[in-house]
Structure 1
Amino acid sequence: MFAVNHHFFRAKTSPYILQKTLKKQVIGGVAWRGSADIIQQVLQIVFTIVLARLLTKADFGLLATAMVINRFFVALISVGFGGAIIRSTDVTKEQISAIFYIQLILNFTLSVVVYFLAQPIAGFFEEIELVRLVEITAWIILLQTFQFPTILLRKNMQFKSFSLIEISSMLIANTAAIIMAFDGFGIWSLVARLFIQKLCFIIGTWFAAKWKPTKPDFNGLKPIMNFGFNMLGSNLLSYFSENLIAIIISKFLGKEIMGLFNIAYNLAIVPASKIKSVLLSVLTPGFAKIQLDIVSFTKNNRKVLLYLSLTFIPFMFLMSGMSENIVLFMYGDKWIDASPMLLILAIVGMMKGVVHLLRSSILVKGEARVILYATIIELVSSLPLMYFYVSIYGVNGLLIGYSVGTLTSFFYIVYKYDKLFEEKIFYKTVLLPFIFGVSLFTLVFFIGQFSINLYIELILQLFMALILFGILMRLFYWKIMKMALQRFRLLK
């Protein structure tokens, strides 16, 4: 069922039919994954609004610190087996089972290690409350092993099932967390949310995939292992590039500042990570099937870049310009110090979201080294600045260094992307959407300078931004607007 022989498929099917079928799969997949991620993002914001009023900044900060630690240890063994399975056209069921067992052993070992390191970790951050928190959240690493069937759902482009399971799991977990928060469980309501969401998702994916591990076959795993281990260095460095700022905040600025940062980060950077998950889930397997057809690959890649730029770039600029009002409206006065962080992080998130698309295209072409070098460049350019500025400007100094690192890596990835496709397609494609975004930012930021009622100001900002965006789209991309409506009808 899972070892799809794509060579046989190509031999028996005309290129035209293959391209039409793949196009329909990719469009349907993007629609489902995109819609699911938008719904999840909206729900996450709604649930966080409720929890932010019931819990403290320290609660959010402590859990965020525990999860940063968790992600660090996961990065140590993130060898990219999932991507290798999706990319492979001839992996067998027995080989898939072998990879599952390898992952199970690695994750169990890692959970045990993290559990016994809880005391030293809490000592490093000088937060005794972290001990019990790290001991319990360590077992989330083991639970992640049993999400393995999601790889198979993605490989077979079963995105409808995948998306519905994600949304259902999120609803159940957050409802339970809110009930616990009302009952006075504090930070443990956030911990329970993590475990309940994982367990519900695991049950759903195993049921949807209808997969059971078979007798493992470790022969022939070398290509998959090589691809995975080639990604290990990049994944580890990527962890530091994305989480170093959180580690420094937790260590030097405390759990309350970490709580504020976590709220801003989740609003600004999580949308970029959602973009990444859609690309990895849908476009990577889709592009992998046409990677040898240079013309088709380039054409489809440019289309995706344009559609992403027209929606994501203006949205993130809009979030940045409205940062203060967004924080006040959603979380209340006690979280107002998160608004300057959101203003900067939204622009960083915009760059990261676009880069995720470029990275997925580069990876499909087999250029994993480019991603590794980009991550090194980001770390080298950001770390000295963060270290120097944190003692002078506090969290804002860290954000300056973080932004410079992201920008430097962004330009390197863009350079390599344009060079790989042998034409300057990035700037030609993204320039107008970028101008749209800057225009929206300028408009809403200007409106935000007037001291009027919060709700009136928010409505005015959104209304004027919508009018401006509609005018710009009508002038420059009217055909795309009509085509987008037609494509949504393909969603079944």
Structure 2
Amino acid sequence: MSAVAAAPLGRRVMAGAAFMMAGRLAIRCLSIVSTLVLARLLMPEDFGLVALALAAFAIADAVTNTGYATLLIRTPDITRGHYDTAWTLNLLRCLLLALAVAGTASWQAALLGDARIGPVLLAVAAGVALDGLVSIGLVRLQREFRFDRFATYQVATRLLNFGATLALAVLWQSYWAIILGTLAAKLLALPLGYALAPHRPRPSLWNWRYFLGFSGWGTVFNMAMVMEMQGASLIIGRLLGLPALGQYNLAQQVATVPVSEIAAPTRAPLLAGYAELARDRAALARSYLDSQALLFAVICPISVGIALVSPELERVALGPRWEGTWPMIAAIALVALADNFSNAVFSIFAIFERYRDTALAFCLVAALRTALLLGGAWWWGMEGLLGALALSALAGLAFWQWLVARALGHGLGALPARTWRTLAAAAAMAAGVLALRAAWPEGAGLLPALGRLLAFAALGAALHLGTQFLLWRLCGAPPGAERRLANLALGALERLRRRRKA
């Protein structure tokens, strides 16, 4: 692909990613407020009960999850028949899954050892049925790079969830606030989806073989994904108890902010951009390496920073009910940073239609993680589980980068060559913050903790930015993540200056 053709694509991808990140930032702000309020109103056991019920549901969801959105995005000659077939198959899948979840709710509750899970799963089943009615036009928005409307839908849905959940939590102070708040938001968001992405669905099974052929290995992939993502919740719930699971679940919400709200929104635009370069493997390799280096430069300092100030975050944001959560926040923040690299690899393999290879590889990684987590929790409790989580993340990172290097033809050192300055800056930040922590006696109360949090955050930001800029200049200011971030910042300042003059 020529440079002339690639430039508009790059701008579309960046614009799409910007819309998605802005939307996810708004969602995260709402989520943070919601989580902090709920943490004050509910007990860790309430969070643990909901997490255990949703982990049980996730297994059934993975078996039937189709992944048709990815297929529609990468299909070159799309027709209305593709959209109608995907909508129909998804509706059938959601209805059958809802019936299965509702029919086995009592059995799942007995298996997980808590009768309260049964009624919760009935409400979850109702939400699954509503998911089958969502507008398929939302996928078309992603395909057409209209991420402004897609982000609007996501933010509005979260806003509805936020309002409903908080209102119910204040009234009931029960875990039912989380379940019924989510259900109410799904119901209210349905007409909004059709307003933003109009598509009058017509039941159709026109080319069902095309979709089912895609979803075969997709089901295996989804099973591996749920094993990796929900395995820890099931293990903690059974071996360590619901309060520990509640702490782990809340720690995940806090620690994964950089990945879930900055990195995750870029996946759909990057997938669409990678798909445009599928026929030029060299250009695709450059795009992959450059995009991952830029993303890492943004999320690495935030993830490491969260880990460094996790004790203060626990005291300031969560309160005394959540004492002992900060080690989980620190560990999960670093694990999520390593795990994030696997998502781009999945996109690359999807473009080349290597579903079998991806599914089998993911099964191997997920099985390794689950075995390590089970052994760690069984022998050493929560500390052992967190250590096993970190070990499996490092192993997975090395494995996935080896696979994508083979697929795209670049060396194993290509990505580290683009990210080493970010890693060195993060190390300098960690050294500085830990030194200040050791020299600063810890005081009791909320205000001293808040002062420490602000001081550590300011020092960490200054050290990271200063170190990375210095290293970049010492290397001759080469093209890379630093230059792109600097250009983005200068461009934003220039637009702000023009607006003030106007």
TM-score (normalizing by structure 1): 0.91
Rounded Cα–Cα distance in structure 1 between residues aligned with 2:262 and 2:90: 25
Alpha-carbon distance in structure 2 between the residues aligned to 1:56 and 1:197: 23
In 2, the alpha carbon distance for the partners of 1:292 and 1:227 equals: 20
Please say if 1:100 is aligned against 2:87.
Answer: yes
Check conservation: 1:320, 1:441, Cα contact below 8 A. no
Deviation track 1:366-424 (CA, whole Å, cap 9, x = no partner) reads 33344324322323323333333323321222222232222222111011122222222
Q: Which amino acid aligns with 1:484?
A: L
Q: Partner of 2:470 in structure 1?
A: 475
Give 3-state SS (helix, strand or coil) of 1:312's partner.
helix
Give me the whole-angstrom Cα distance separating, in 2, the residues matched to 1:135 and 1:316: 36
Correspondence for 1:437:
426
Between the aligned partners of 2:471 and 2:45, the Cα distance in structure 1 is: 47
CA contact (8 A) 1:75 1:239 kept: yes
Q: Matches of 1:414 and 1:362 in 2, distance apart? A: 12
CA shift for structure 1 position 173: 1.9
Indicate the SS of the match to 1:210: coil
Paired residue for 1:243?
230
Decide whether aligned partners of structure 1 residues 63 and 380 sit closer, same or farther in structure 2, where only a CA change above 3 A counts. closer
Question: Which residue of structure 2 lines up, in the alignment, with residue 194 of structure 1?
Answer: 182
Corresponding residue number in structure 1 for 2:489 = 485
Deviation at 1:283, TM superposition (A): 1.0
Equivalence for 1:364: 351
Aligned to 2:451: 456
Question: How far, CA to CA, are the matches of 2:344 and 2:454 in structure 1?
Answer: 32
Unmatched segments (≥5 aa) in structure 1: 1-13
CA contact under 8 A between 2:123 and 2:180: conserved in structure 1?
no
Counterpart amino acid of residue 204 in structure 1 = L
Deviations 1:288-339 (A, max 9, x none): 1221123332222222111111011121111111111112111112112211
The aligned amino acid for 1:74 is D
In structure 2, C-alpha distance between the alignment counterparts of 1:53 and 1:276, rounded to whole Å = 29
Instruction: Quote the offset at 1:207 in angstroms.
Output: 1.0
**Residues 1:392 and 1:299: Cα distance change in structure 2 (over 3 Å):** closer
User: Which of 219, 233, 238 pairs up with 1:232?
Assistant: 219
Q: 1:390 to 1:347 in 2, by over 3 A?
A: same
- What is the CA-CA distance between 1:135 and the residue it aligns to? 1.2
Deviation of 1:27 (Å): 1.2
CA distance in 2, matches of 1:372, 1:397: 28
Q: Note the C-alpha offset of 1:273.
A: 4.0
C-alpha displacement at 1:203, in angstroms?
A: 2.4
Aligned to 1:415: 402
The answer to whether the 8 A contact 2:422-2:468 is kept is no
Is 1:178 the equivalent of 2:166?
Answer: yes
**What's 2:500 paired with?**
none
Alignment-derived partner of residue 120 in structure 1: 107
**Shift in CA distance, 321/373, structure 1 to aligned 2, threshold 3 Å:** farther
Establish whether residue 132 from structure 1 lines up as the match of residue 132 from structure 2. no
Contact kept? 1:290, 1:297, Cα under 8 Å: yes
Between 1:442-451 and 1:78-87, the stretch displaced more is: 442-451
SS at match of 1:485: helix
**1:62 and 2:46 matched:** no
Q: 1:465 aligns with which of 447, 460, 468?
A: 460
Q: Which runs of 5+ in 2 are unaligned?
A: 473-481, 497-502
Q: Deviations over 1:190-248 (max 9, x none)?
A: 112211332343322211111111352523x4344322222221111111011111011
The 1:17–1:146 alpha-carbon spacing in structure 2 relative to 1, beyond 3 Å, is: farther
**Could you tell me which amino acid in structure 2 is paired with residue 71 of structure 1?**
A
Letter of the 1:485 counterpart: A
Structure 2: distance between partners of 1:199 and 1:446: 51
Q: CA deviation at 1:17?
A: 5.5
The correspondence for 1:256, drawn from 240, 243, 266, is: 243
Indicate conservation of the 8 Å contact 2:424/2:468, yes or no: no
Q: Distance in 2 between matches of 1:430 and 1:72?
A: 36
Given residue 381 of structure 1, which amino acid in structure 2 is its aligned partner? Answer: L
CA distance in 2, matches of 1:372, 1:328: 41
- Give the conservation status (yes or no) of the 8 Å contact 2:157–2:185: yes
Aligned to 1:10: none
Cα displacement (A) at 1:466: 1.4
Structure 2 residue identity aligned to 1:194:
T
Q: 1:82 aligns with which of 50, 69, 86?
A: 69
Are residues 1:345 and 2:349 paired?
no
Residues 362 and 454 from structure 1, CA distance in 2 versus in 1: closer, same or farther, beyond 3 angstroms?
same
How many positions carry a matched residue from both structures? Answer: 478
What is the one-letter code of the residue matched to 1:293? D
Describe how 1:141-160 pairs up with structure 2 within 5 A: 141-147=128-134, 148-160=136-148
Change (3 A) 1:242 1:212: same
- Whole-Å separation in 1 of the counterparts to 2:210 and 2:415: 32
Give the structure 2 partner of residue 298 of structure 1. Answer: 285
Structure-2 separation of matches of 1:205 and 1:244: 32
Does the 8 A contact of 2:227 with 2:367 survive in 1? no
Letter in 2 for 1:136: A
Q: Is the 8 A contact 2:72 2:82 kept in 1?
A: no
1:446 to 424, 430, 435: 435
User: TM-score, normalised on structure 2?
Assistant: 0.89
Question: How many percent identity over aligned positions?
Answer: 18
How far the C-alpha of 1:270 sits from its partner, in A, is 5.5
Structure 1 residues 151 and 481: CA distance shift in structure 2, 3 A? closer
CA distance in 1, matches of 2:364, 2:495: 41
Checking the alignment, whether the CA contact within 8 Å between 1:71 and 1:239 is kept in structure 2 is yes
Partner in structure 1 of residue 478 of structure 2: none
User: Which residue of structure 1 lines up, in the alignment, with residue 36 of structure 2?
Assistant: 49
Change (3 A) 1:486 1:150: farther
Task: Return the offset for 1:461.
Answer: 0.3
Bigger drift between 98-107 and 448-457 goes to 448-457
The 1:428–1:209 alpha-carbon spacing in structure 2 relative to 1, beyond 3 Å, is same
